[in-house]
Amino acid sequence: TLADILGEAGYVSLQTGKWWEGNPSRGGFTRGMTHGDPARGGRHGDEGLRIGREGLDEIYEFIENARAEGKPFFVWYAPFLPHAPHTPPDSLRDKYLPVAPSESVASYWAMCELLDITCGQLMDYIDGAGLSEKTLFVYVTDNGWIQDPDKPNRFDAMSKTTPFEMGIRTPVMFRWKGVIDPEMDETNLASSIDIAVTILDICGIEPGPEMQGINVLDKKALSGRDAIFAETYAHDFTTVDVSLNFRIIVKLPWKLILPDAVNRPYNPQFYPFVPDGSPQLYNLLKDPHERVNLSAEYPEVVAGLTEEIKKWWNR
C-alpha cells in the first residue's frame, strides 16, 4: 500500500474516516481511528467516521506528534462527507433551500459545503503551522453521485455504482504551495492509479514496476497517454471474478462500456438505453451525458476497443 511504501521511507501515517479494510495496520498505517472489528459493528469505518463531522482534533494531534518526533507524515482524511446520512447544520441547508429543486438536493449540496469547510480548516491549520510549502494535498473522491430529488440520502440513476460518467468521472486535485501552479486540465486523461505514483515521485521514492500509473505533474507523460481503462464492481465486493460488473476504456472521442454478462444479469439501472445488456459505445465529445449508444453504427470501433480492453485486462 501507499502507507507501507511511505513507511519504509520513514513516514508515519494516520487513517481516519471511511475504511473497509479492517484494522488500519492492514493498510500499512502506523495509527488509525478505526478499530476494524466486525463483531463490534461499523461497516464503513466505525470510530473513524467521527472525523470531519465532529472536528479534526485527531489529525491535529497526530501532526503535532509527528513534528515533535521529527517525522514526515501521511494523513488519510476520508470523512463520511458528503456521504449519507445527509444531516447538515440547519444554517447550511437553509442556504440552499431557495435554489435547490428539492429539500433532499439542498441537504446534499449543504453536505458538500460542509466537506469543503473541513478541508479548508485542515489547509488553514497546515498554513498556520508553516508547513504549506512542505505539504502536498491530494483531493480525490471514490465515486460520483447524482442526488435523487425525490428520495433523501439516495443517488439517482447513472451515477454511483454505474459505469457512466457521473459514476466514475470524479475530480483529482493536487495542491503544493509554491510548487504547483493552479490550473485545470480538461483535455488529458488521468486515472486514480496515477495518484500513488505521483505522490511517490514527489517524495523521491521510486514506484514499483507493478504500478501502472504515471506522474500527472509530468506533462509530457500525461499528454502522451491516449487511453485509460476502468472497471466497476458490485457494491458488496467479494472477488474480482465474482463481483465484476463492467470494463471500460476511454480513448477520445470514444468510450466503450463492456458488460460482464456472465456475472451480472440485466439491470435497467446499468443498461438504461440497451435492454439486452450489450456493449455501449459513446462519443464523449459530442455526447458527454451518454444518451446515444453508437455501438450498432460503429462495430469496427467496438471491436477494436474491445481488443484493447482484453489486452489490458489480461496483461
pLDDT in tens, the chain (315 residues): 999 999 999 999 999 999 988 899 999 999 999 988 878 876 778 888 899 999 999 999 999 999 999 999 999 999 999 988 999 999 999 999 999 999 999 999 999 999 999 999 999 999 999 999 999 999 998 888 888 888 888 888 888 888 999 889 998 999 999 999 999 998 899 999 999 999 999 999 999 889 989 999 999 999 999 999 999 887 777 888 778 888 999 999 999 999 875 545 555 555 555 556 689 999 999 999 999 999 999 999 999 999 999 999 998
Judgement on whether residues 133 and 276 belong to the same structural domain of the protein: no
| Domain of residue 307, CATH code | 3.30.1120.10
Pairing of strands 228-233, 172-175: unpaired
Cell of 307: 481488443
Judgement on whether residues 110 and 180 belong to the same structural domain of the protein: yes
Judgement on whether residues 213 and 307 belong to the same structural domain of the protein: no
Residue 56's closest CA among 86, 89, 41, 78?
Answer: 78
Judgement on whether residues 87 and 175 belong to the same structural domain of the protein: yes
272, 157 in Cβ contact below 8 A?
A: yes
The answer to whether the peptide bond before residue 272 is cis (omega within 30 degrees of 0) is: no
Judgement on whether residues 46 and 195 belong to the same structural domain of the protein: yes
Full 3-state SS string of 233-297: ECCCCCCHHHHEEEEEEEECCEEEEEECCCCCCCCCCCCCCCCCCCCEEEECCCCCCCCCCCCCC
Strand-pair partners of 76: 15
Last residue of a domain, one of 223, 244, 265: 223
Judgement on whether residues 198 and 308 belong to the same structural domain of the protein: no
Judgement on whether residues 94 and 40 belong to the same structural domain of the protein: yes
Provide the domain count of the chain.
Answer: 2
Judgement on whether residues 63 and 174 belong to the same structural domain of the protein: yes
Task: Please give the order of strands across the beta sheet that includes 12-15.
Answer: 31-32, 12-15, 73-76
Structural domain range at position 237: 228-314
Last residue of a domain, one of 162, 196, 223: 223
Judgement on whether residues 48 and 157 belong to the same structural domain of the protein: yes
Last residue of a domain, one of 223, 243, 269: 223
Cell of 238: 467479494
Sort residue 130 into left (φ over 0), alpha (ψ -120 to 50) or beta.
left
Residue whose C-alpha cell is 500509473: 213
